[in-house]
Amino acid sequence: MPLAILHLSSLVRSPLRDRRGDRVGRVEDVIVRPDGAAHPPISGLVASIGGRELFVPVWRVSELSSDGARLEGETVNLGRFERRPGELLLARDLSSRHLINVVGARLIRANEIELACVDAEWRVVGVDPSSRGVARRVLPRSLARRIGAGPVVDWESIEPFVAHVPSARMRIPYRKLARLRPAQIADLVEAASHEEGEEIIEAVGQDQELEADVFEELDPEHQREFLESRSDEEAARLLATMAPDDAADLIADLDQERRIPLLEALPPKQKAKVRSLLSYNPETAGGLMSPDFLLLAEHSTVADALEAVRRSDAAPEALATIYASDADGRLVGTAPVVRLVQAEPSAKLGVVAERDPVTVRPDADLHSIVRTMSDFNLAATPVLDAEQRMLGVVTVDDVLELLMPTGWRRDFGMSAPEE
């Protein structure tokens, strides 16, 4: 049997009645204390009686409907309402504000909040982001009641922003955002206000690796915005967990006086990689390349190469291809990991690898790189110095980021909030 839905807009500002049905005040808000439940229970009401805001515990309420709330018992505690830590007021804190719909990674606006009595307990069950809730709030109650239910998003998929809530002492739980991909979380940050974006970043900051991945996906404007609000120590911690090429791009976008302190605060290994990348024009192969790759001697066996992949702490995408060098360290061949898995473990890497690979120089411009990768159908291209030694690898995603127009995700509705 479907639940009977009570719209928050029809309950707020409705009469508060005593057990005999006489009006004693007005319902001002509904209180919930999110406790991790899929549908958080209502803990009480904020009521206005004689010009004072009072707290009415839910156990004192015998009935809730669009006609108002009815009290149980003869007396009402006339103590003023004071928000307790962890409490949310549905109308004051959430109504008409952005919420996160984790399913689909979208921002929605809480134009209506839906309540229902589930197993004799009133709970928050969903959010209607359509304009129906707005109409119910502005129209007379007689007309508002004629507006049907809209498309409801189950509250189990919802995360509210709470940084603006006085004494909330809570933040967006990491557990729900962790279901999303870094690019989806970055889309949410870009679609949100600065305050909302900071709250999302703070939530994912519980996982430093995820936080770094999200920062890498943000557009340059948002990267600068969030990095500038952090201390050098906090910013350096974040940059240290990012891929060196992404960290270098971000540092290059900062004001000159901020670059040197951040560089000096980086761990030595990361600092050396970032300094090297900053020496190149950002739109050349040297500026685009990642310095993380796996280069092994050509006389290594396939078994040695696969063991090196297992031991490597490089990002998975950096290990898709293994590179072979001669005795002088010059690049002589490339071997996709798939080819190594298919080969005999005792075979030599130099034999399995494709000889004379297609490469680019560090000063190659973007158009030259694109032509090379397109002509030879390459997902990654080694960057070599004048002595044919590897400096890094340019991947197709690095190139696409420069080729796509600024703000393309927003232009195509990928990060626009649902209203």
Q: DSSP character for 151? A: P
Does residue 415 register a pLDDT over 60? no
The model's confidence at residue 322, banded by pLDDT at 50, 70 and 90, is very high
Does residue 412 register a pLDDT over 50? no
Lowest mean pLDDT among 84-93, 312-321, 343-352, 407-416: 407-416
Domains and CATH numbers, the chain: 5-160 (2.30.30.240), 174-288 (1.25.60.10), 295-402 (3.10.580.10)
pLDDT value at position 331? 96
Span 119-139, average pLDDT: 85
The model's confidence at residue 268, banded by pLDDT at 50, 70 and 90, is very high
Tokens of 241: 């967990």
> Is the CB of residue 69 less than 8 Å from the CB of residue 14?
yes
More confident residue, 131 or 273: 273
Does residue 265 register a pLDDT over 60? yes
Does residue 18 register a pLDDT over 50? yes
- Measure the N-to-C terminal CA separation of the chain; round to a whole number of Å: 30
Does residue 242 register a pLDDT over 80? yes
Phi, psi values for residue 65, rounded to 5°: -160, 180
Query: How far is the C-alpha of 304 from the C-alpha of 4, rounded, in Å?
Result: 65
β-strands 321-325, 295-297 pairing: parallel
Q: Within 10 A of 106 (CB to CB), how many other CB atoms are there? A: 22
Q: Which of 25-29, 149-153, 281-285, 398-402 has the highest mean pLDDT?
A: 25-29
pLDDT in tens, 393-406: 998 888 887 777 66
State the residue for tokens 């004799």: 120
pLDDT value at position 405? 64
Tokens of 401: 């980021």
The model's confidence at residue 113, banded by pLDDT at 50, 70 and 90, is very high
To which H or E segment does residue 98 belong?
A: strand 98-101
The CA dihedral of 370, 376, 379, 380, to the nearest 10 degrees, is -80
Query: How far is the C-alpha of 300 from the C-alpha of 203, rounded, in Å?
Result: 44
Span 302-315, average pLDDT: 92
pLDDT value at position 144? 66
Q: Residue 301 to residues 47, 339, 351, 374: CA-CA distances in angstroms?
A: 77, 13, 9, 31
State the residue for tokens 């005795």: 327
- SS3 at position 316: helix
Lowest mean pLDDT among 15-29, 64-78, 221-235: 64-78
Query: How far is the C-alpha of 21 from the C-alpha of 301, rounded, in Å?
Result: 87
pLDDT value at position 130? 87
Span 236-246, average pLDDT: 87
Q: DSSP character for 284? A: B
Nearest Cα to Cα of residue 56 among 34, 28, 36: 28
The model's confidence at residue 115, banded by pLDDT at 50, 70 and 90, is very high
pLDDT value at position 413? 47
Span 123-131, average pLDDT: 91
CA 174 to chain centre: 10
pLDDT in tens, 376-392: 999 899 999 999 999 99
Does residue 309 register a pLDDT over 70? yes
Tokens of 242: 């990012």
Does residue 121 register a pLDDT over 70? yes
Q: Which of 180-184, 209-213, 347-351 has the highest mean pLDDT?
A: 347-351
Query: How far is the C-alpha of 60 from the C-alpha of 47, rounded, in Å?
Result: 12
pLDDT value at position 418? 56
More confident residue, 316 or 139: 316
pLDDT in tens, 22-68: 999 999 999 998 877 889 999 999 999 888 899 999 999 999 998 89
Span 204-213, average pLDDT: 85
CA 17 to chain centre: 44
Look over the chain and give the mean of its residue pLDDT values, rounded to a whole number: 87
β-strands 153-154, 23-32 pairing: unpaired
- Provide the percentage of residues in the chain whose pLDDT is more than 70: 90
- Provide the percentage of residues in the chain whose pLDDT is more than 90: 48
